[in-house]
Chains A and B, each alone.
Chain A
């Protein structure tokens, strides 16, 4: 889902980047409030974790492998605001040091994967928790919803390119496929394989943590966000 450079017009990149500024500003404030002074090391280790798990190859039926993003997992562990910062930093490292995902497209990529994905995932997770659904199932469904929302956002950004940016004779200047082509192409891949991988991995990690008796870890940092005492 990492959009490379050249796919989006610079003005789209600028708009998406500008959209991330208030998100990150609020996130910085929230994180400063909730983490005391522990914010910097926790966020740093969080983004190192996010970066590393994106490199894990997950075997899928058919003999190939896929990757998980881990946005919802991180949102459950660090809270959605903390996850937003950690994921943005992880994406920045990926694009700047590995050429994975564009530098100009960083705003769009972080909007999709560091804002839409953790917030939708966390929202769905919290909703299911209120409905007394188990933690494993809630986190899996949350992750499925989160990754698909992010994919939808990415496909809309891409699909708008030929509508907004074309020459006088209708030739596309950037990504050439419209919404009617980009949305189904992205969503079929994510509703099936990528979404299920993300859901299975997130659910299994939560299952593992519960089994290992370490599930407190998932909520340790977010107690203040939920208005609870230590």
Chain B
């Protein structure tokens, strides 16, 4: 099981959230099996895995909605406590609000349940409603809002109490592209302002784009963990792309004789090379001898490929 032990620069500080050998069982079904992970402060952490792998259970444990059978959850280096919930913001996968309750009242209620005083809650709601231009919704009932509006409201409610750890379960599901982009930029902004974000998602493109670290959970076990860039490098299989001007046949022949597989990229002056045995420099040398090289890229496997490979392998 390849687990890259990543030691990035963010890891110097205590992780904001850590799981140590967490086990959870429902009846005879193991849902989490000795799960450990460390979520570095200030990072965006991806929690990946197929449906039913145990992600939601882990997230619920982190939110203290359920308790682990054994193992330990640490928050900022000490045992996770009840009043830590004031520092955690949670957007569940299945979202919902009181349909008959007015928007403003509802935001105020949920903020106060997180422990904000009435005045603080009021001030922050006004700030967020201004920012998302949702001020005119105040006296509307939730059921009168469109789906997209409800999702915006739900996100505002999640972050109102300025949590230092945001746990988002499938935050992009059901969002239209415009709102998804808005959400993405808000998540990035909150991270830049010092929050840590843990997100569970099936959208691998957004993992590559946003996440610094990931844990891949399959069948209740963690099967891959670490820094995204590092994992992709580790899983590289010697794929390169060369852009050039000159004699393509000569280049192809030269590469073939050195044991590389060449495939056409579909574009003129661009080919793909599969060369697990060769280094980039060696390939570049070969190429320079035949053509004028304009670009040279190593193609890293996408998270999508890695995900599928890891999950389907025996």
Q: Do the two chains bind?
A: no
Interface residues of A (CB under 8 A from B): none
